[in-house]
Chains A and B, each alone.
Chain A
Amino acid sequence: QEYKWTVQTAYAAGDDLHLSFVKLAEMVEEMSGGRLVMEVSPGGAFVPAFDVLDAVDDGVIDAAGGDADYWVGKHPAGSLFASAPGFGMPSIDLMGWMEYGGGKELFAEYINETLQFDDTVSFLLSPAQAQPFGWFEEAVTSVEDVQGLKYRTPGLPVDVMREMGAAVVTVPGSEVVPSLEQGVIETAEYFSPKADMILGLPDVRKVYMMPSYLQLGLVQNFFVNKAKWDELPDDLKAIVRYGVMAESADFYWRGLDENSKALATMEEEMGVEVAETPREVMKAQLEAWTAVLDNYAAEDEFFAKVLDSQREFAERVVPLKARINPPADIALEHFGFE
């Protein structure tokens, strides 16, 4: 028997994030010999981007792509499964917590119980690299420079930047680039070098600041309507499950290739200057994050539970990585990469 799913993501068609679901669909179709076909449409095709999870639960669409930063309005813990700093674990390590530290089970609890979407089966996939600090008029050289900065970002990073003293401005996503161009906002961040380039950010700002703890990567979500999932035979279920893992790895590798190329293009052909974020600013980011997260944890039991679980995993993993990985600057220097 053949199955056909209508899938909608929360992203624009050219976006890397959207393309991850297109790839997943290709893999699943090939592995299943065409028995499971997913037709993937971009955000807004059937329902607004922010509603894809609701729409899967209703069955309005069969499956959806998004990331939990979209659901922080429903419950703030979403951020912990998406781009919050995870005690220093970038998203590829956060995926480790999800597979082996209990994160996957907590995410299912978040979707099915906390948000009460009990007709939804959820998967975590496609870890992204750390997200840059953003596009600035002038490089930030100290924590004071962030004070009063008209900065645009969505989700919990809003709380973090406010905590740091920025004048956070809310403009709709569609207005970010025009608002930067006219100067309504001074600074904004979007996602990755490639995605930022497509959006046109290097055409309106030239100073690209990185790295940043504001959004330490991103983990995406793949949701399937439960009825649609249950009707699949076991082998197709396995194909989807392992397809998600395969695409997760491939997304990360693709990201290395595409983002490095995009960054080179922007630096060499578009006059973009990459500025290194000062250590004290990154420290301040983590301090602000900790204050924000502790605040939510004090108010909400589930939030605290997720945070504890992450800390437990990070306590082992972050030191392991620091000890076992030789520092990158030695290789950079030795091979003369710059």
Chain B
Amino acid sequence: MTFDVVLGFIQLLTLLVGIFAGFPIAFTLIVLTVFFGYIGLGDLAFNLMVYQAWGVMSTETLAAVPLFVFMGYILEQAGIMERLFRGFQFTLARVPGALYIGVLLTSTIFATATGIIGASVTLIGMLAAPVMTKSNYDPALSAGTITAGGTLGILIPPSVMLVVLGPVVDVSIPKLFAACILPGLLITVLFLGYTLIRCWLKPELGPALPEAERPSSWMVALRELAFGMTPMLILIGATLGSILTGVATPTEGAGMGAAGALLLTIFYGRFTLPRLQTALYQTVIVTSMILFLLLASNMFGAVFNRLGTGPWIANTLVAWDLPPMGVVLALMVVVFLLGWPLEWAPIVFIFLPIFLPIVQQADLDLLWISALVAVNLQTAFLSPPVAMAAYYLKAVAPQWSLKQIYSGMFQFVALQVVALLLVLAFPEIALWLPRVMFD
């Protein structure tokens, strides 16, 4: 173990402490990168930062972030989404936790339109958080549902992570897409089941609508739902529809959603110039917060890897000479643990290539391994301290403390582990669909 490798470990430990000092997280990551990078690599650390910034700046697919955030702010200002959730709540008035169902179903549908976590968590957070707060829903469980639901986008295609992961592991991208659909839906079902059971056992977590506020009849409830659903269907049509029919790329689909939202506010007579100005301005702030955080965590991961710590961990594990299942388990544990301080990119680029040869030698199904890794990496977004989903939500739902968001997220991390174990025990969950589709 060289000095630089040790330095990388210290960098990780310092992050755990430093991030809680309360300075903005993005800048904490950047200054730690500068500090440890400079000790280990000299001036090169600064160049490395510029390369990482440039990398984020030239990723065209991330342009979906401002587009979806803008869509969210426009809808928020027009009160359109509130109406949808209210309709939903009216219809399921007697069911405790109706809003959890609403959030999770919306997240799953939204996941088929985008794979950019920053976009989905902020959008769903913006729309659902105020309603959940107003309905006296449990903050932790609400925040957990939104963050966990929002990260489904990276598992359910399309997803940039899967597109990057496929060629790294020698697996065809369409097959990998197919392999991740059932695990993604399995996770949705786990989430749904969990929130419903919790609410059934403890109704105050997601209180049903008080008797006085319930709709007078089914007709009223259905009408509310219809009115609420219409704009939503139009927007999903604009976003998802334009992507699935080949009209638009995912980025353009996000733009279609934003333009659609703008047209809806005009149609509903809710459009004013000051409102537009505010939505645009807030879009700049939230977009910048999201992407600066991404950039900072990429810088952090790049320096960590360049110091040699990442490769050292992987090589050490490979040298253990484990049996095939041991390799899989070791890989899963390492990816899970590294997901706490790091994001998916540094893990995919450094660890998988080192592990790949032994996984291939062990004659394990690479498609299955990739699906496992993908589920595991999705968890990285939910595991503090570098838990992007928490910070994205915090930016648009300031009423919830990070402590509440964390404690909600932990419950869903546990569900993710359950899903991971299920896919581990029953490889068919991942392998069945690709076989049916491509063989």
Q: Which residues of A contact B (CB under 8 A)?
A: 6, 12-15, 39, 41-48, 50-51, 54-55, 58-61, 171-172, 174-175, 177-179, 181-184, 197-200, 202-204, 270
Asked if B34 lies at the interface with its beta carbon under 8 angstroms from chain A, I say: no
Closest to A57 in B: B47
User: With a CB–CB cut-off of 8 A, which chain A residues contact B44?
Assistant: 58-60
A41 to B349, CA, bound (A): 7
> Are A198 and B353 in contact, with the CB atoms below 8 A?
no
Contacting residue for A182 out of B55, B166, B246, B349, CB 8 A? B246
Kindly state whether residue B256 has any CB partner on chain A within 8 Å: no
A14 touches B168 (CB 8 A): yes
Could you mark each residue 341-385 of chain B with 1 if its beta carbon is under 8 Å from any beta carbon of chain A, else 0? Answer: 000011001101100100000000000000000000000000000
B158 adjacent to chain A (CB < 8 Å): yes
CB atoms of B54 and A51 under 8 A apart: yes
* Residue B167 interfacial (CB < 8 Å): yes
A230 to B247: give the CA distance in the assembly, Å: 54
Q: Mark B414-439, 1 if CB is under 8 A from A, else 0.
A: 00000000000000000000000010
Q: List 10 A-B contacts (CB under 8 A).
A: A13-B356, A41-B353, A47-B48, A55-B47, A60-B51, A172-B60, A182-B245, A183-B246, A184-B249, A199-B173
In the assembled complex, how far is the CB of residue A70 from the closest CB belonging to chain B, in whole angstroms? 13
Please judge, given known A-B contacts A13-B356, A175-B163, A181-B174, whether A55 and B51 are in contact too, CB under 8 Å: yes
Contact B55 A48 (CB under 8 A): yes
Known: A41-B353, A46-B306, A60-B51. A172 touches B59 (CB 8 A): yes
Please measure, in the bound complex, the distance between the C-alpha atom of A17 and the C-alpha atom of B350, giving whole angstroms. 17
Closest 8 CB pairs of A and B: A183-B246, A200-B172, A12-B167, A48-B55, A14-B170, A47-B51, A203-B174, A13-B353
Given contacts A46-B51, A47-B55, contact A178 B163 (CB under 8 A): yes
Q: Is B250 an interface residue (CB 8 A)?
A: yes
Most B CB contacts (10 A, CB to CB) among A6, A177, A202 go to: A177
Please report the total number of B residues contacting A with Cβ < 8 Å: 49
Q: Does B198 belong to the interface (CB within 8 Å)? A: no
- The listed residue (B61, B163, B167, B306) touching A6 by CB distance below 8 A is B306
Q: Answer whether residue B58 sits at the interface, using C-beta atoms and an 8 A cutoff.
A: yes
A175 to B246: give the CA distance in the assembly, Å: 12
Interchain CA distance A198-B305 in the complex, whole Å: 26
Q: Are A174 and B311 in contact (CB under 8 A)?
A: no
Does B129 reach chain A (CB closer than 8 Å)?
Answer: no
The reply to whether A177 and B163 form a contact with Cβ atoms under 8 Å apart is yes
Known: A44-B345, A184-B246, A199-B167. A175 touches B350 (CB 8 A): no
B172 pairs with A198, CB closer than 8 A = yes
Given contacts A46-B48, A46-B305, A182-B243, whether A175 and B54 have CB atoms under 8 Å apart is: no
Closest Cβ–Cβ distance, residue A30 to chain B (whole Å): 16
Q: How far, in whole Å, are A177 and B171 apart by their CA atoms in the complex?
A: 13
- Alpha-carbon gap, A202 to B173, bound state (A): 11
A206 shortest CB reach to chain B, Å: 12
* B243 surroundings in chain A (CB, below 8 A): 182
Residues on B with beta carbons closer than 8 Å to the beta carbon of A50: 58
Report the minimal beta-carbon distance from B395 to chain A, rounded to whole angstroms. 26
| Distance between A14 CB and nearest chain B CB, rounded to angstroms | 4
A197 to chain B, nearest CB (A): 7
- Chain A residue contacts of B192, Cβ below 8 A: none
Is B175 interfacial (CB-CB < 8 Å)?
yes
Chain B residue numbers with a CB within 8 Å of A175 are 61, 163, 249-250
Contact A198 B170 (CB under 8 A): yes
Tell me if B10 counts as interface (CB < 8 A to partner A). Answer: no
For residue B294, CB closer than 8 A to chain A, the reply is no
Q: Which of B54, B173, B248 makes the CB contact (< 8 A) with A48?
A: B54
Cα distance, A97 to B172, chains bound together (Å): 36
Task: Assess whether B51 is in contact with A45, with CB atoms less than 8 Å apart.
Answer: no
B111 interfacial contact with A, CB 8 Å: no
Is A178 a contact partner of B173 (Cβ separation < 8 A)? yes
* A46-B160 CB under 8 A given contacts A182-B244, A198-B172: no
B160 and chain A: residue at smallest CB distance: A174
Counting chain A CB atoms within 10 Å of each CB, the highest count among B177, B243, B353 belongs to: B353
A106 → B minimal CB distance (Å) = 28
Contact between A44 and B51, CB atoms less than 8 A apart: no
Min CB distance B29 to A, Å, is 17
Shortest CB distance B279–A (Å): 27
> B163 is contacted by which of A42, A46, A60, A174 (Cβ under 8 Å)?
A174
Q: Does B386 contact A (CB under 8 A)?
A: no
Q: Is the CB of A46 within 8 A of B245?
A: no
Q: Which residues of B contact A198 (CB under 8 A)?
A: 166-167, 170-172
A296 to chain B, nearest CB (A): 24
- Contact of B302 (CB < 8 Å), options: A43, A46, A171, A203: A46
* B350 pairs with A184, CB closer than 8 A: no
A203 with B172: CB separation less than 8 A? yes
Contacts of B246 in A (CB 8 A): 182-184
- Which chain B positions have C-beta within 8 A of A46? 48, 51, 302, 305-306
The chain B residue with its CB closest to the CB of A150 is B246
Residues of A within 8 A of B244 (CB): 182
User: What B residues does A45 contact at CB under 8 A?
Assistant: 302, 305, 346, 349-350
Q: Does B69 contact A (CB under 8 A)?
A: no
Option from A12, A44, A61, A171 in Cβ contact (under 8 Å) with B55:
A44
Question: Could you tell me the distance in whole angstroms from the C-beta of B380 to the nearest C-beta in chain A?
Answer: 16
Chain B residues with CB under 8 A of A174: 61, 160, 163-164
**Cβ–Cβ contact A203 & B175, under 8 A:** yes
- In the complex, the chain B residue whose C-beta lies closest to that of A54 is B51
B contact residues around A177 at 8 Å (CB): 163, 173-174
Which chain B residues in 42-77 approach chain A with CB under 8 Å? 44, 47-48, 51-52, 54-55, 58-61
**CB closest residue in chain B, given A203:** B174
CB pair A42 B54 closer than 8 Å: no
Chain A residue nearest to B346 in the complex (CB): A45
Q: Which residues of B sit under 8 angstroms from A197, Cβ to Cβ?
A: 172
Min Cβ gap A9→B in Å is 10
Shortest C-beta distance, B364 to chain A (Å), equals: 15
Answer yes or no: B397 CB below 8 A from chain A CBs: no
Contacts of A44 in B (CB 8 A): 55, 164, 345, 349
Instruction: Give chain B nearest CB distance to A171 CB in angstroms.
Output: 6
Residues of B within 8 Å of A182, CB to CB, are: 243-246
Question: What A residues does B248 contact at CB under 8 A?
Answer: 184
- Which residues on A sit within 8 Å (CB–CB) of B166? 198-200
Chain A residues with CB under 8 Å of B163's CB are 174-175, 177-178
Report yes or no: A204 in contact with B174, Cβ–Cβ below 8 A: yes
B238 at interface by CB-CB < 8 Å: no
Residue of A nearest to B348 (CB): A44
Give Cα distance in the complex from A182 to B59, angstroms: 20
Which chain B residues lie closer than 8 Å to A58 at the CB level? 44, 47
Question: Known contacts A42-B168, A48-B58, A172-B60; can you find 17 more A-B pairs with CB under 8 A?
Answer: A6-B306, A6-B308, A41-B305, A44-B345, A45-B302, A45-B349, A46-B48, A50-B58, A51-B54, A60-B44, A172-B61, A178-B158, A178-B173, A179-B249, A182-B243, A182-B245, A183-B246
